[in-house]
Amino acid sequence: MSITKIGDPEQNVVLCVPRWCGLNDTLVQIWFAYQFALNDERRLMIDTRVSGFWDDLDNYLVPTPTTEGGPVPISMRVTDLDINALNRMQTFPRLYQGRVDFMQREIYLRAVVADNQLRLQRSIAFVTRALFTRMPPQFPHGICRRMQFLLFVGFPKRRKSSHPFSSPREQELVVHHLSGGGSESLGTLSLFTLTPPLQDAVLKALDVCGDDFDAIHVRNTDIQSNYEEIFSDARRRLPGRRVLVCSDDSAVIAAAHKQLSESHVFTVTNTEATSGSPLHKLGSGRSPEQRRLLNFNMIVDLLCLAKSRELLIATPKSGPLSGYSALAQALHRRSDVVNQLLGK
């Protein structure tokens, strides 16, 4: 849905571009942007092409009728033409004045060209590639615009900006380009239902699960978990039970089949070997079809975990639960939100 087709064309805008983060954190940032749009009487545009989705949000979520008729007009897809129009608006933070397109280019450059490697991101080669790499969207003004982008990505520590939502803003456009987690993701999900194709995928997976099953979730890529402990607990508590095991690590799935031999272990999606990379960073170098399948599987697993009788979450070796694990726990307690997402 284009900027030229939503709400009052004179209404000010919040542009939410979650920065390179996973599912839960992306939803959290959308909630912050939605609340600001509500309080500041703005329309909300959500661009998830450089979040962990690496895709447009309307391929996965659609507003409920209540949200659609509510006080905040929402655009779930932002096009390059929209970005060009936003570049002409008076913008806060000033960092993005006339540089709205630089957000997508920078994340693409760091994820694809530098392959997420901090060492390469700090090299001269990384900066010079900003001049020559073909990246979406295409530069409209040739070498001059590329030179501006080179300065933008080459000196990130010089950027200074206030949090965009710290107070009401008079500018036409407020840009929210941050990451970070929390529990506000449930607020975002309460605004939407799944798209019909995604609903169908979840319901087919739930048919495989059956009416009475338990579930285990193990995050074990960038965040390492004590999954041996959770499997030991499951052996004691779940003998003879159907147990869904979801993980971002294929080795964990294999270990579950071996260690939970007295339970019926099963999966509803395929888990590939990722060499320790979290799933939300895999999409940057993949085709649109591969990205969509990855995202579908992520959401299918999430809602199947939420529908289980008993949900066990492996604790990390250090730090708090991952955002995805915490979201699965929260949805497990909120059958109303799960049913809304499934259109029930």
List domains and CATH numbers for the chain.
3-176 (3.40.50), 195-341 (3.40.50.11350)
- In this prediction, residue 6 carries a pLDDT of 40
- In this prediction, residue 21 carries a pLDDT of 86
- In this prediction, residue 274 carries a pLDDT of 62
Q: Are 341 and 243 in contact (CB under 8 A)?
A: no
Q: Are 263 and 243 in contact (CB under 8 A)?
A: yes
Question: Which CA distances in Å does 134 have to 108, 116, 131, 284?
Answer: 10, 17, 9, 14
Q: Are strands 13-16 and 61-63 parallel, antiparallel or unpaired?
A: unpaired
Residue owning tokens 């073909």: 134
Give the Cβ contact number of residue 12 at 10 Å.
Answer: 18
SS3 74: strand
- In this prediction, residue 88 carries a pLDDT of 93
- In this prediction, residue 80 carries a pLDDT of 86
DSSP β-bridge partners for residue 43? 13
**Predicted TM-score (pTM) of this structure:** 0.88
Question: For each of the chain's 344 residues, which pLDDT tens digit applies?
Answer: 344 344 445 689 999 999 878 999 999 999 999 999 999 999 999 999 988 898 999 999 999 999 999 999 999 999 989 998 999 999 999 889 999 988 888 877 777 654 445 444 455 666 666 666 666 666 666 677 777 777 777 666 555 555 667 677 889 999 999 988 999 999 999 999 999 999 999 999 999 999 999 999 999 888 889 899 999 999 999 999 999 999 999 999 999 999 999 999 999 999 876 665 666 666 666 788 988 999 999 999 999 999 999 999 999 998 889 999 999 999 999 999 999 999 98
DSSP 8-state code for residue 101: H
CA dist., res. 71 & res. 17, Å (int)? 21
Q: Are strands 61-63 and 192-194 parallel, antiparallel or unpaired?
A: antiparallel
Euclidean distance between the first and final Cα of the chain, in Å? 26
- In this prediction, residue 125 carries a pLDDT of 67
- In this prediction, residue 129 carries a pLDDT of 67
Q: Are 96 and 89 in contact (CB under 8 A)?
A: no
